[in-house]
Amino acid sequence: MGHDSIVLLGVNHKKTPLEIREKMALTGGYAEPLEKLRELDGLKEYYLLSTCNRVEVLFICQDPEQMRREVLDLLFAGKVSREEVAGCFYVYENEEAIRHLFMVSSSLDSMIVGESQILGQLKEAFRHAAEQKTAGLIINKLLHKSFSVAKRVRTETRIGANAVSISYAAVELGRKIFGDLRGKRVMLIGAGEMAELAAEHLVGQGIQEVVVANRTLERAMKLAARFKGRAVGLDEVVEQLLDVDILISSTGAQGIVLFKKDIVPLMSRRRNRPLFFIDIAVPRDLDPEINSLENIYLYDIDDLNNVVEMNREQRDKEAVKAQRIVEEETLKFQHWLDGMEVTPTIVDLRAVAESICQTELAKTLPRLNGIGAQERKCIERMASSIVGKMLHHPMQYLKTDHGCVDQSERIMQVRTLFQLNEQSEQCQKDDG
């Protein structure tokens, strides 16, 4: 006897070029491919995951080699040739498959270690499998466990604590300068993509107002409307800085757009309140000499890159702790699976013992004249207690690891000793 195999096969950004991944992506959603997989009789449970960085199939079966071929042919034949994907696929079985899934859910296998998006994508993929009833006992348990592993990694490490994008690094610096960003005002000069992203993150932190200054007023108005802010002309920038706390500049100008001499008279009117400048533009928009002024904090794109690089190194250190957590949880899940393997034998053992007990009670109790209901119950409890104590050691033998006898052999020994296979066959004949 043995439990079914857990198989995980897929492609990801580490092993497979984008031009192959985009052909294999399940762009039409999960419903159709999940339904197609139902045609494969050898699959007992399965689920699919498709993101921009990976396509993975997780399934339970008895014949991994055969089902691996059938699943690949069913899902991807016609999309990619065997020659194209040669060497691109990874295949994991049992403990390796469990470990890989936990690595994915914890974002340790992501392009950006520590990102949180993958967990939501996993939950969404599992929701489809659950709705179409393609996930059974093992995949249900495995996916829910992967969610809790991801939560444990987030709780016990700082893997997601430090920003690894330019836009979010700007937000982190703002928090260090002001402590709390709620109620602060931010101004965007220009409308570059990174400036927009930084503004999005800042608004998420409770920024009170977004002011947009752009060479084209129409563009400024559109962007301001997105953040429920207001648009101003470029010639109003200095005056607007009286009330602004954070300025993000990303114009396409060929030279400096804001000089130190523009800011000096402004600071006294601001009563020296701090100003945080982020210059994402290349060439730079802001005069580097501005940083020499008191209570002015100026960061350019290289400064932000340095922050991101330091944060990446910090995440790599945290990843070591996260991998240890994944290893622990993989072993725990494997133990749960091992427990499932002995369950049928334990059930059979109890059933046989209970049958013998009831048979003997049926023979003996009618011969005991004059006993009442109370005495009868006492005898039945005593017989049940003897059975329980007699089965205690065989059951512990099945459940507990032994260095010199593996689990399959222990199961076979117990089934032989108690003639469980013969007893089960007899029961099936009797039921038939």
Residues composing the chain: 432
Q: What angle do CA 123, 127, 133 make, to 5 degrees?
A: 140
**Phi, psi values for residue 293, rounded to 5°:** -80, 145
This prediction's pTM: 0.69
User: Which tokens hold the place of 203?
Assistant: 């608004």
- The candidate with the shortest Cα–Cα distance to 78, out of 39, 42, 36, 41, is 36
Q: Which of 52, 61, 88, 357 is catalytic?
A: 52
Cβ-contact 194, 253 below 8 angstroms: no
The CA angle 375-380-383, to the nearest 5 degrees, is 125
Q: From its phi and psi, is residue 315 left (phi > 0), alpha (psi between -120 and 50) or beta?
A: alpha
52 is catalytic: yes
Beginning with the edge strand found earlier in the chain, give each strand of the sheet holding 90-93 in spatial order. Answer: 43-50, 54-61, 5-12, 90-93
For the record, the structure tokens of 64 come out as 């991994």
Which of the 8 DSSP states describes residue 365? G
pLDDT tens series, the chain, 432 aa: 446 899 999 999 998 988 888 889 888 899 999 999 999 999 999 999 998 889 999 999 999 999 999 999 999 988 888 888 888 999 999 999 999 999 999 999 988 888 888 999 999 999 999 999 999 999 999 999 999 999 999 999 988 877 777 777 888 888 888 888 899 999 999 876 767 777 788 888 888 999 999 888 888 898 889 889 999 999 999 999 999 999 999 888 888 999 999 999 999 999 999 999 999 888 899 999 999 999 999 999 888 888 888 888 888 899 999 999 999 999 999 988 888 888 888 888 998 899 899 999 999 988 888 788 899 999 999 999 999 999 999 988 888 877 778 888 888 898 899 888 887 777 666 655
Distance from C-alpha of 210 to C-alpha of 199, rounded to nearest angstrom? 8
User: How many Å apart are CA 219 and CA 344, to the nearest integer?
Assistant: 69
